[in-house]
Structure 1
Amino acid sequence: MNQSELAQLIHRKRRKAQLSSLIVGASLLLLAATSVTVGWTNLSATDVLAVICGKVTGNSAWYSQLEPAMVAIIWDIRFPRILCAILVGCGLAVSGTVFQAILMNPLADSYTMGVSTGAAFGASFAIFCNLLGNVSLPITPFAFGGALLTLFAVLAIARVNGHVSSTNLIIAGIIVGCFLSAAISLIKSLAGEEVAAIVSWLIGSLSARGWPYVTFGFPLIIICYCFCHYFAEELNILSLGDQEARNLGIDSSKLRIALISCGALLTAVCVSISGIIGFVGLVVPHLLRMLVGSDNKLLIPLSALSGGLLLLAADTFARSLDNIELPVGVLTTLLGGPFFFYLFKTRNKSIQ
């Protein structure tokens, strides 16, 4: 392939990524607007628009004719939950993209690094202490702290002679993840009949997620996303291997630690908001990489939009069922597992 053909190929991929981002972004906005009206209480689009415009502008005249309960449902219950779904989906997908690029493994995600398990352990510990009745520990900060401590432990174990390699990160993540999984099982056993409180958090849900979760997650997720996107070109080079990165003047070890830390922070924020939600960070980047290629400059923003769209669609469906609300973490795993298996088998057939 000559340079002209290569340039045309790159141009086509960029056009495809831009078009895909436009379509996904428009779909996300449309779904977000529609999701506010979906639920056990029927709401009209006019009422939703009046409440949102009134709250944003601070003019209560927009929704003065509506009942206070209806205003609370729209602004205090459904709207922040929709924003949480978008933020969590965006964060998980971007972190999965970063982990897969750094570890050079299309099956890598936050579980590979043990970060999700660390967040689960922190939350389980807080819930267990609360069940004892002696203290009242906040679950979200403990989940966040558990994820960060897990990251520090993984990096400490993976560092050999001052250097952190992709292989060492995977091995360290598996070691720490297995240890924390056993610790979570121990806590669940000690909880006895109260284990349901721990299990309900571990399976992942966006129920009762209000504005405090949005204000906590929004700035951190946006900052981490901007950091990952800023270093997308360096991430492309890092995906080629340490030797190639060093030849181009990039300190692969420091960059890997910085990006891994950023991806882990994204996961920590998301898991501390929603609990464990699987397959979003695994399926979305893998599927998009098959569609638009491996250029992280294009892949990261498209993954962010697609992750938000996927999780919002799953959560909207989960809370629209009659007489029951299915935890969104269960739904994404039930749907994502077979779908990813199909993609995996299809790709292997195409390679053969």
Structure 2
Amino acid sequence: MKRIGDMWWGVFFFLTLFLTMSIALSVGSTSISVQEVWGTLFGLVKTDPATSAIIWKIRFPRVCVAALVGGSLALAGAIYQSLLRNPLADPYILGISSGSAVGAVIAITSGWGVLLLQGWQIPIFSFLGAVLALACVLLLTRSRLQVQSLLLSGVVVNAFFAAILTFLLSMSQTELARIQFWLMGSFTLRDWDHVLFLLPVSFVGGFLLWLGSRELNIFLLGTLPATHLGVSVYRTRIILLVIASLITSIAVSVSGMIGFVGLVIPHFVRILIKTSDHRYLIPYSFLVGAIFLVGSDALTRVLFEPREIPVGVITACFGAPVFAILLHKTTQKMTGESS
């Protein structure tokens, strides 16, 4: 019965994502009814060329990109928290997103690899930046993956890459607008090319992470029991961390830095479905992350219409209080254990 209940949560999340995407497609500077939106997409109604272009060329790819980025960041957050056994682990807080953004900005400002990589220079540099940031965090913690050491390491790494971003901003006035995109996070002018770029990475990476559900569930018992049960702890941890970093870097290369999605969503899913079984946690985190970021992006278009605000503002408004609560509870728990 418990397994059937967990599966029904998947149906609920999928239907909620469909509803959220429907609303996001209908709102904006030009209001379009939900019936007209889906009628146009499925060819059931005839609409004027302007409305059809708004739906097909502007809103639908933007909503799809928001869903894929939100799912990817939430998925990466769930993996970081499980592998590092830390409730505060998150691509943004640990500096992974910052490192990824620095890699992307270096590719933009330097032009390195333009001829050789043929359009892949930003994602590749973004991935290298994410891996470098992750390596810095793990090196600073010296394998002591406690809350304080991870947070302090994340602060240091974030500050370091923020300094690099500031330097790049001051040195490249011609690319200032493009660099600002990475700092704020946005889905403006995202098109079908970005969807096709994100789709295989998100789903293939997510599937590979889901295949590691058994190992992730065993990790919940601790490192020593996992080793006794035949899990290669070090190798598995590195492989899954690299896959999660790859997913994060690709998402950042398309959307810029969007914080707190990977922190908040996995906790919300655990509380809602009342399980830490990664067979459900991984796909459900992806779905809820997609719902959250599609809804957040819709809010950016309607709150101060006709102006748009960065989507990172919305996610921070939700995520910062949750982070403060988690930090307080985790600190209290560790204080109680030490006493």
Scaled by the length of structure 1, the TM-score of the pair is 0.81
For the Cα contact (< 8 Å) 1:280–1:307, is it kept in 2? yes
Unmatched 5+ stretches in structure 2: none
Q: Which residues of 2 match residues 39-58 of structure 1 at below 5 A? A: 39-54=28-43
Cα separation, 2, equivalents of 1:155 and 1:323? 39
8 A Cα contact 2:198 2:251, kept in partner: yes
Q: How many residues align?
A: 326
Cα deviation per residue 1:102-150 (whole Å; 9 max; x = unaligned)? Answer: 01111001135543122211232244348xxxx9999984442233213
8 Å CA contact retained: 2:108, 2:122:
no
Residue number in structure 2 paired with 1:116? 97
Q: Which amino acid aligns with 1:100?
A: Q
CA contact (8 A) 1:148 1:265 kept: yes
The residue identity in structure 1 corresponding to 2:246 is L
Please show how residues 139-178 of structure 1 align to structure 2 within 5 Å.
141-153=120-132, 165=143, 167=145, 177-178=158-159
Pick from 277, 284, 298 the counterpart of residue 280 of structure 2.
298
Superposition deviation, residue 96 in structure 1: 0.2
Cα separation, 1, equivalents of 2:154 and 2:318: 26
SS of the residue aligned with 2:92? Answer: helix
Secondary structure class of the residue paired with 2:308: coil
Q: Which residue of 2 aligns with 1:75?
A: 56
Tell me how far apart the structure 2 counterparts of residues 347 and 166 of structure 1 sit (CA, whole Å). 16
- Say if 2:240 is the partner of 1:259: yes
Contact 1:143 1:271 in 2 (8 A): no
Pick the aligned partner of 1:331 from 301, 314, 332: 314
| Alpha-carbon distance in 1 for matches of 2:93, 2:122 | 17
Cα deviation, 1:201-225, whole Å, max 9, x if unaligned, reads 3110111111001000011100011
Is the CA contact 2:100–2:130 (under 8 Å) kept in the aligned structure 1? no
Question: Is residue 2:282 matched to residue 1:284?
Answer: no
Match of 1:246 in 2: 227
> Which piece of structure 1 moves more, 146-155 or 164-173?
164-173
Q: Contact between 1:119 and 1:143, CA under 8 Å: does it hold in 2?
A: no
Among 308, 315, 335, the alignment partner of 2:290 is 308
- Structure-to-structure mapping, 1:192-211, within 5 angstroms: 195-211=176-192
Residues 101, 235 of structure 1: 8 Å contact kept: yes
Deviation at 1:333, TM superposition (A): 0.9
The superposition leaves residues 265-293 of structure 1 with CA deviations (integer Å, 9 ceiling, x where unpaired) of: 11011111111110000011122223323
Question: Does the 8 Å contact 1:90/1:308 carry over to 2?
Answer: yes
| Shift, 1:30, TM fit | 1.1
Where 1:106 maps in the other structure, the secondary structure is: coil
Shift of 1:151: 4.6
**C-alpha separation between the residues in 1 aligned to 2:51 and 2:133?**
47
Q: 1:95 maps to what in 2?
A: 76
Q: Which ranges of 4 or more aligned residues in structure 1 deviate by more than 6 Å?
A: 135-140, 155-160, 171-175, 346-352
Q: Aligned residues: percent identity?
A: 36
Question: Highest Rg: 1 or 2?
Answer: 1
Counterpart in the other structure of 1:104:
85
* 1:192 CA displacement: 5.0
Distance 2:17 2:204 in 1: 21
CA contact (8 A) 2:96 2:131 kept: no
CA contact (8 A) 1:151 1:261 kept: no
Residues 109 and 325 of structure 1: CA distance in aligned 2, closer, same or farther (over 3 Å): same
- Matched AA of 1:294: S
Q: Which amino acid aligns with 1:202?
A: L
Structure 2: which amino acid aligns with 1:327?
P
Q: Give the corresponding residue for 1:23.
A: 12
AA aligned opposite 1:33: S
- What letter corresponds to residue 225 of structure 1 in structure 2? G
Offset at 1:67? 2.1
SS in 2 for 1:266: helix
Taking a change above 3 Å as real, the CA distance of residues 194 and 231 of structure 1, as seen in their structure-2 partners, is closer
- In structure 1, how many angstroms separate the alpha carbons of the residues matched to 2:107 and 2:132? 20
Residues 30 and 254 (structure 1), Cα distance of their counterparts in 2 relative to 1, 3 Å cut: same
1-side partners of 2:233 and 2:7: how far apart?
Answer: 29
Is residue 272 from structure 1 mapped to residue 253 from structure 2 by the alignment?
yes
Greater displacement, 186-195 / 287-296: 186-195
TM-score norm. by structure 2 comes to 0.84
